[in-house]
Structure 1
Amino acid sequence: MKERVLTGDRITGKLHLGHYVGSLKNRVELQNQYETFLLLADVQALTTHFENPELIKDNLRNVALDYLAAGINPEKATIFVQSLIPEIAELTTYYSMFITVNSLRHNPTIKAESKERGYKDMYYGFLGYPISQTADITFCKATLVPVGEDQLPHIEQTRKIVRRFNQLYQPVLVEPKPLVGDVPRLVGLDGNNKMSKSIGNAIHLDSTKEEVNEKIKKAKTDPARIHKMDLGHPEVCPIYAYHQAFRKEDSEEIYQNCKKGQIGCMECKRKIAQSINDLLELMRERRVEYQNNPKKVDEILVTGTERARLVAKETMQEVREAMGMNYFTN
């Protein structure tokens, strides 16, 4: 049997180039190697957007379109909606019975995100995010979970929950392994933060050619370069980081020319804008096909969710048997 991968996104907004570099590009490759499940995490989006559920509804299809436009093949990967798999909610409840609040409070990712958001008191759903994520991973018995370094504490928490469940009841759950990619976070257009939809320093995957050109034109560069012939410091320039991500084969030449003051920032921006537009052009073509056939997108989501639900039912049958909660079955 192929190993099974579980990955996905909280659907709080359209995806951007940071998502593509950090995960989506890798997912397109993974679907050819593993049995891949892609989660549209609408319930987990409520952990930070519970007061704005219409945002989640609007972005369900936007994120699905981003997946399909980027090259996710629904014949190879199962795209499904989290809230439509009730077994995930059931597993979340069971796991929460034997996980201490202290272990959740000390999760480094939870601590960092709560500080970033200025939470003095954490909501139950936000604090319990690692438990919900464990249910996402284990409902389909995923063996591999692609993550960045900052998400490793969540996966370790999942592994601990799985071990605890298997010790308490029966060894029916699979302990997943993290699949850590060596991909740096893409810095935002402001040069100060990672590319983020919430900060507004991102290039979205559905951007037009004109939007890409305009955003790159306004992007921050090396603050020490005032004139074209000034010696540059590409290591601190966001535009050079984009060259490394999208023009890897030519990035060393850009680096040397910038250091020597042999290329101006506008020329450097023009080159990277062209490369980004070349990348997005194929996505635009795919996106138009699906946008012109919205029923097809809905069919993909419904079919994927039905497929995931079948797997979930099988897992839950084993879980209930292990816990002795299969009351009326022989």
Structure 2
Amino acid sequence: MDAITRSAELELEIQANPGRFRVLTGDRPTGPLHLGHLFGTLQNRVRMQDLGVDLFVIVADYQVLTDRDVADRLAETVEGLVLDYLAVGIDPERATVFTHSAVPALNQLLLPFLSLVTVPELQRNPTVKDEIAHSRQASVSGLMFTYPVHQAADILFCKGNLVPAGLDQLPHVEITRLVARRFTERYGPVFPEPDALLSAAPVLLGTDGTKMSKGRNNAITLGASDDETARLLKGARTDAERHITYDPANRPEVSSLVLLAALCQDRDPVDVAAEIGNGGAAALKRTVTEAVNEFLAPMRARRAAYAADLTYVRKIIQVGNERANAIADQTLAEVRQAMGTVY
């Protein structure tokens, strides 16, 4: 069965019995989250949480080091990430938010897991190959190279059985399934083979016409002010044609702005473009700015309220770490029992 068909089946199963699913998802704390994250992953996390799926959200602080020498201002960035989660509707009463580095047993799983995959299998992973190609370092670290196995530990420590993913992330999920399967063959059943839940999320371009990214300074962050949003969108790339249409293949920059307005207004992008018509780029940018600021206003208000009490944010992380540690310790105990390393 192909991934798209299986994902459609999973959506029906989630609707029917959400309680049987545990999702592991998360982000590297390399900067504030932006509109690409919101429409790409964050809204889907909130949707699954609200359906009753057991949601684990990992702040992958160790993984910041995959493509940089040091992690600058990490505590501040981690807290900012949690503020973004709270702003969009992640509920710490129904979701577990935790940090990589605070769960030793999770990271210890990396050792036996590495014995289950070969170097050529890691070298063939297209996501790692792409990350290596775009790395800012002269050569990649062992942490970068083994990233898919570390991600397998993230997913399997809590026995996650559902992983939201884009098509480009399927190789990572396959590595996780491979690790789970080989562990079962070698030592016995401890881990499920998780399924990928494919996202139909749109790809939003940044203000420079390339993919919206934390590292490219081309993104509108969730915590940006109205004025900052207006300034960024005013400088967004468009094209020379005045009449506004929605044509992603031939007019990617214009179409991405139209799509952004449509997503914020919950409308068809074709209708949004038709409404702007001969108004040109100025009218397009004005429409997008108003739509984004109106859409983000309640999230920004919640974020500001939570930011006024970082003690609460730190408590969320502490409680999440405690729950993650309890689960990881139990899983590691089962692994040691299966491997015969209980002395």
- Say yes or no: TM over 0.5: yes
Q: Determine which of 221, 236, 240 is the counterpart of 1:219.
A: 236
Relative to the length of structure 1, the TM-score reads 0.92
Q: CA deviation at 1:70?
A: 1.0
Q: Determine which of 188, 201, 205 is the counterpart of 2:218.
A: 201
Q: CA deviation at 1:132?
A: 0.3
Residue of structure 2 in register with 1:76 after alignment: 94
For structure 2, list consecutive stretches of 5 or more residues without a partner in the other structure.
1-18
2:103·2:324 contact (CA, 8 Å) conserved in 1?
Answer: yes
Q: Percent same amino acid among aligned pairs?
A: 39
Q: CA deviation at 1:118?
A: 6.0
Cα 1:304–1:133 shift into 2, 3 Å: same
Cα 1:247–1:5 shift into 2, 3 Å: same
The answer to whether structure 1 residue 279 and structure 2 residue 295 are counterparts is yes
Instruction: Work out the CA distance in 1 between the residues paired with 2:73 and 2:313.
Output: 19
Q: CA deviation at 1:119?
A: 5.8
Residue of structure 2 in register with 1:44 after alignment: 63
- Residue type of the partner of 2:60? A
Corresponding residue SS for 2:20: coil
Cα 1:119–1:291 shift into 2, 3 Å: closer
Q: CA deviation at 1:48?
A: 1.2
Corresponding residue SS for 1:188: coil
Residue of structure 1 in register with 2:126 after alignment: 108
Q: CA deviation at 1:233?
A: 4.6
The answer to whether structure 1 residue 97 and structure 2 residue 109 are counterparts is no
Instruction: Work out the CA distance in 2 between the residues paired with 1:122 and 1:301.
Output: 30
- Residue type of the partner of 1:102? P
Q: Determine which of 157, 180, 188 is the counterpart of 2:198.
A: 180
Q: Deviations over 1:269-324 (max 9, x none)?
A: 11211111112111121112211111111111000110111111111111111101
Cα 1:175–1:250 shift into 2, 3 Å: closer
Q: Determine which of 34, 37, 53 is the counterpart of 1:16.
A: 34
Cα 1:109–1:74 shift into 2, 3 Å: same
Instruction: Work out the CA distance in 1 between the residues paired with 2:124 and 2:159.
Output: 26
Instruction: Work out the CA distance in 2 between the residues paired with 1:62 and 1:104.
Output: 32
Instruction: Work out the CA distance in 2 between the residues paired with 1:200 and 1:120.
Output: 22
Instruction: Work out the CA distance in 1 between the residues paired with 2:273 and 2:182.
Output: 51
Q: CA deviation at 1:56?
A: 2.6
Q: CA deviation at 1:168?
A: 0.4
Instruction: Say how many residue pairs are matched.
Output: 318
Instruction: Work out the CA distance in 2 between the residues paired with 1:32 and 1:233.
Output: 36
Q: Deviations over 1:234-280 (max 9, x none)?
A: 3211312313432342522233355xx53222222112111111121
2:67·2:144 contact (CA, 8 Å) conserved in 1?
Answer: yes
Instruction: Work out the CA distance in 1 between the residues paired with 2:337 and 2:66.
Output: 31
Corresponding residue SS for 1:274: helix
Q: Deviations over 1:22-46 (max 9, x none)?
A: 0011111111220000000001111
1:36·1:78 contact (CA, 8 Å) conserved in 2?
Answer: yes
The answer to whether structure 1 residue 231 and structure 2 residue 220 are counterparts is no
Relative to the length of structure 2, the TM-score reads 0.89
Residue of structure 2 in register with 1:35 after alignment: 54
- Residue type of the partner of 2:260? Y
Cα 1:302–1:12 shift into 2, 3 Å: same
Instruction: Work out the CA distance in 1 between the residues paired with 2:155 and 2:85.
Output: 19
Instruction: Work out the CA distance in 1 between the residues paired with 2:300 and 2:271.
Output: 29
2:244·2:284 contact (CA, 8 Å) conserved in 1?
Answer: no
After TM superposition, the runs of 4+ consecutive aligned structure 1 residues lying more than 3 A away are 118-121, 230-234
2:62·2:101 contact (CA, 8 Å) conserved in 1?
Answer: yes
Q: CA deviation at 1:186?
A: 1.0
The answer to whether structure 1 residue 66 and structure 2 residue 84 are counterparts is yes
Residue of structure 2 in register with 1:322 after alignment: 338
2:244·2:279 contact (CA, 8 Å) conserved in 1?
Answer: no
Residue of structure 1 in register with 2:313 after alignment: 297
Q: CA deviation at 1:18?
A: 0.5
Q: Determine which of 317, 321, 325 is the counterpart of 1:309.
A: 325
Instruction: Work out the CA distance in 2 between the residues paired with 1:123 and 1:52.
Output: 12
Cα 1:249–1:147 shift into 2, 3 Å: same
Q: CA deviation at 1:213?
A: 1.0
For structure 1, list consecutive stretches of 5 or more residues without a partner in the other structure.
none
Q: Deviations over 1:209-254 (max 9, x none)?
A: 1111111111111x122xxxx4345321131231343234252223
The answer to whether structure 1 residue 136 and structure 2 residue 154 are counterparts is yes
